[in-house]
Amino acid sequence: MTMNAVGNRRVWTDAGLAVVLLVVSAVVNSPAGLLDGLKTATLPEPLMIWWLATLACTAALALRRVAPLSMLGLSVTAAVVHLVLGSPITAADLTAAAVLYTVADLRPRAVSLSALVLVVVVAAGAFMLWKSAAERDGKNVEVSDVKYAIAQDPQPDLPVLVIAPKIFMMDQTGLLSLLGSLFLVAWATGAAARSRRAYLEALRARADDLERSQHQQAALAVAAERDRISRELHDVVAHGLSVMVVQAQGGVAALDHRPEDTRAALAAIVETGRESLADMRRVLGAVNPGAGWHPVPGLAALPKLVAQLAAAGVAVDFAESGERGAVPTAVGLAVYRIVQEALTNTVKHAGPGATARVEIIYQPGSLTVVCTDDGTPARPAGDGAGLRGMRERAELLGGRFTAGPADVGFQVTAWLPRQRTERGGGR
């Protein structure tokens, strides 16, 4: 249910309560009996004024959620009018407490507390004026006299303006304390309801934030996994196809004069295609575990990668220096893919007859990969998918990556820590 629907339902509920209050005021309180004899008062038509004040109380109850502060002022004014008329406290006069509850529930603490103080002050002032008027008009009439007169004559010859205050005044301090306590309880209940609603709204907002954060994290995880799979597929497909293209070109060139070389090239194409398919199955297996498992290529697979390029007619010099030691699987995979993509770029862009060199330098806590070729140093403009993928692999492990023309040819350098550090960390 929306907030507007809840608000409309509460307004209709208040309207129903106002109708009930009006019926009670007309039937139970018997205003004609309460005000019998007021025709001797200085106010004209006191019964009509009483009804107008009562209707104001019912309107304040019906509209207390629409304009709480205005309705509080209206209900307090109507109660004071009832008091001035000499009417005892009725259900309609208690509307001020209900409206004060609404003010405390819907308005800030400072505003509602100020309203409480103002209502108590007005109530105390009205009672003091009422008491003074009663004492002035009925100074020779005591409560005992009234009781005696009523006992002797059910209709004593005493003004109602004198009798009614004497009867209902009772202990003024006690009655005023009772009303003050009623207003205080109404305000405290409304303030507690407001605090509880604010607490629940804070919990709901926190739950929404957590849910939104979870959705964002899930989306980021999906995007990261998509990028990883895309990068893996690019490295596998680009390298395999580049090698097969080179082998096919060599086979075509040797078809007429060296059929054995063509046969060897075709066999190499078949082997390269199978390896590429195996790599693709491994990558897809990360998405669908039922597709099967294949070992992740690493440093141990580099000699085979170099031999594959050599079989395709690309001379590659491979060298390692330093103590290899323990290398994490993620680092080994990154080294393999960086070397694979660098050699693929050599095949694609270095030009015919170019040679390449791959050097792995092991250091304590890190390793460096250097891939160079002596081909055409110029490369296609921009940071292509291959270079971008190599850079992302290095940075995801906290390493650094550079690529650009060298003194002769093109050079790719990647520094990787053996243990993952903060993204973009240094030595």
pLDDT tens digits for range 110-123: 998 999 999 888 88
Say yes or no to pLDDT of 295 above 70.
Answer: no
Q: What is the C-alpha to C-alpha distance for residues 143 and 149, in angstroms, rounded to an integer?
A: 10
Percentage of residues of the chain with pLDDT beyond 90: 17
Poorest-pLDDT segment among 193-207, 304-318, 381-395: 381-395
Beta carbons of 67 and 40 less than 8 angstroms apart: no
Q: How confident is the model at residue 286 (pLDDT cuts 50, 70, 90)?
A: low
Q: Which two tokens stand for residue 238?
A: 């680009």
Residue 159 is predicted with a pLDDT of 38
Q: Is 297 helix (H, G, I), strand (E, B) or coil?
A: coil
Residue 347 neighbours by CB under 8 Å, 6+ apart: 242, 243, 245, 246, 309, 312, 314
Q: What is the pLDDT of residue 151?
A: 43
The secondary structure of 146-179 as a DSSP string is: HHHHHHH-SS-SS-HHHHHHHHHHSSHHHHHHHH
Question: Lowest-pLDDT range, 12-16, 186-190, 366-370?
Answer: 12-16
Q: Is 413 helix (H, G, I), strand (E, B) or coil?
A: strand
Tell me the two tokens of residue 148.
């005696």
Q: Residues 362-380: pLDDT tens digits?
A: 999 999 999 999 887 766 6
Higher local confidence (pLDDT), 409 or 295: 409
Q: How many CA within 13 A on the CB side of residue 217?
A: 6
Backbone dihedral angles phi then psi of residue 284, each to the nearest 5 degrees: -70, -25
Q: Which residue has 């250097």 as its token pair?
A: 370
Burial 213-227, CB ≥16 within 10 A → b, else e: eeeeeeeeeeeeeee
- What is the pLDDT at residue 149? 41
Distance CA 413, CA 83 (A): 94
pLDDT at 156 over 90: no
Listed residue (154, 89, 75) closest to 118, CA to CA: 75
H or E segment to which residue 299 belongs: none
pLDDT of residue 152: 44
Q: Say if residues 387 and 403 touch (Cβ distance below 8 Å).
A: yes
For 403, phi then psi, to 5°, come to -150, 140
Q: Is the pTM of this model over 0.85?
A: no
Token pair 């693929």 is found at 344
* C-alpha distances in Å from residue 146, one per residue of 36, 38, 39, 150, 248: 17, 18, 20, 6, 126
Distance, CA of 82 to CA of 229 (rounded, Å):
81
Residues 6 or more apart whose Cβ sits within 8 Å of residue 77: 53, 56
d(CA 80, CA 86): 10
Q: Which residues, 6+ apart, have CB-to-CB distance to 222 below 8 Å?
A: none
Q: How far is CA 307 from CA 313, 336, 358, in A?
A: 10, 14, 12
Is the predicted pLDDT of residue 29 greater than 70, yes or no? no
Kindly report, residue by residue over 375-398, the tens digit of the pLDDT. Answer: 877 666 556 777 888 888 888 888
Check residues 39 and 364 and name the one with the higher pLDDT.
Answer: 364
Q: Which domains does the chain have, with CATH numbers?
A: 3-170 (no CATH), 316-427 (3.30.565.10)
Specify the range with the lowest mean pLDDT, choosing from 95-109, 189-203, 237-251, 287-301.
Answer: 287-301
Q: Are 169 and 86 in contact (CB under 8 A)?
A: no
Tokens of 178: 């009772």
pLDDT at 148 over 60: no
Residues counted in the chain: 427
State the average pLDDT for the chain: 76
Does the pLDDT of residue 206 top 80, yes or no? Answer: yes
Q: What are phi and psi of 417, to 5 degrees?
A: -75, 150
